[in-house]
Structure 1
């Protein structure tokens, strides 16, 4: 109630800082929740640097996007795309809010998703320790009779480097 929004946002810097703070987290599973319009016009870090940091992190990112239907700046127009991309990179999701009263329900859905996830492991065929980015593609073949299911997964991983 006492906060007043102003015209400058350093969203990329804030996410970058959040990822760095989570490196020292107590538990192995880490999640970051972003509530934003996705616009950034004040950050020192670039979007490319953020994308690299997101890829390298072991953090699942969710966002609640509060977007202006009549976005007037390039940052506001590109915001939803950036938020969606960084969430998908980590296996998280972006939720759009059309009414601020929905915030609590969406936060509860995110909490439920985080508590009901499965971890799937695999052993890659390529065991080279070359530090390269390797894409992952997960396909789901549901048994007959189940309702439609969805998969949210990291888009890839960095191979270990010697």
Structure 2
């Protein structure tokens, strides 16, 4: 099916006539060169123009019409194609504090740091969210938006892969990350607002506490799903009490109580990621809680046709220029 994408462009059709009709005439400037035989030159009668020269305005009108046709985006529309969409707007808030470099995670049999595991598993989660708009917040001592809400999931994953520990400082401003997500989500419809918060520590930086920020999110109907990162606490050896250190207790800084309260206040859920298997199980559960596909719409493939009228207008302009030059030489 043929159609013009911007048909209102044709309202400019009378523009050349309006300019000619209402624009002030050009000012005649005095001659810059004075010659002694000017009176004799003025007495010479100009030769009448060739009849064909006065019959060319239609060519200019045709060129103008072709230019407008190109600007109106002519296109051929193909058959309707189903497009899976969802109205879900999901922000991801990823912790980049210093403790995320702790190597207590296992991925494919190798020992990796927490951030590396998050990149792998959350990256796969992003790839599965067909039709969702995803955004990315990175936080440490401060929080900032690395990617606004977008359907371009490949770019969101790329920006996540390029993140590194300490990029936003080495502390943990959970409250600021939630507050920043509120600013990005509060303008969206209430049923679409979701924040996935991933951290391995406790709120120890920022201008607002995590619980206060969660209450604000609850007022704006933003659901927050929290994921706490950290391996299981090891059992203490016999006859010693000096075992509660990061080496023996990798999750000593994880504030599970606050993360559970954040999820409870906002109608979300709290999950604990102890390794790659439990993290993947969390992703599958999130897919069930927040389904990625819930409605469909159609989209048509389009073939742009603007080069044709644009090319014809160019050829006519070149032919008209050459014809005028030959007429003047003759």
- Stretch moving more, 79-88 or 61-70: 61-70
Q: How does 1:49-68 map to 2 (within 5 A)?
A: 49-67=212-230
Q: How does 1:129-140 map to 2 (within 5 A)?
A: none
- How many residues align structurally? 113
Distance 1:39 1:96, change over 3 A: same
Summarize deviations over 1:118-148 as a string: whole Å, max 9, x none.
Answer: xxxxxxxxxxxxxxxxxxxxxxxxxxxxxxx
Contact 2:214 2:266 in 1 (8 A): no
Task: State the alpha-carbon separation in 2 of the partners of residues 11 and 99 from structure 1.
Answer: 22
Q: CA RMSD of the aligned region, Å?
A: 2.6
Q: How does 1:1-162 map to 2 (within 5 A)?
A: 2-6=162-166, 7-25=170-188, 28-67=191-230, 69=233, 70=249, 76-77=253-254, 79-115=255-291
SS at match of 1:14: helix
- Residue 71 of structure 1 deviates from its aligned partner by 5.6
Distance 1:4 1:29, change over 3 A: closer
SS at match of 2:208: coil
Contact 2:195 2:223 in 1 (8 A): yes
The runs of 5 or more residues in structure 2 that have no matched partner are 1-160, 234-248, 293-330
- Residue 98 of structure 1 deviates from its aligned partner by 0.9
Contact 1:38 1:83 in 2 (8 A): no
Contact 2:211 2:261 in 1 (8 A): no
Runs of 4+ in 1 over 3 A off after TM superposition: 1-4
Contact 2:190 2:221 in 1 (8 A): no
Summarize deviations over 1:78-123 as a string: whole Å, max 9, x none.
Answer: x21111101011221111011034323311211211239xxxxxxx
Task: State the alpha-carbon separation in 2 of the partners of residues 89 and 101 from structure 1.
Answer: 28
Distance 1:92 1:23, change over 3 A: same
The runs of 5 or more residues in structure 1 that have no matched partner are 117-162
SS at match of 1:64: strand
Please identify which structure carries the higher strand content: 2
Task: State the alpha-carbon separation in 1 of the partners of residues 225 and 215 from structure 2.
Answer: 17
Point out the structure with max Rg over C-alpha. 2
- TM-score, normalised relative to structure 1: 0.58
Distance 1:20 1:3, change over 3 A: closer
- Residue 41 of structure 1 deviates from its aligned partner by 1.8
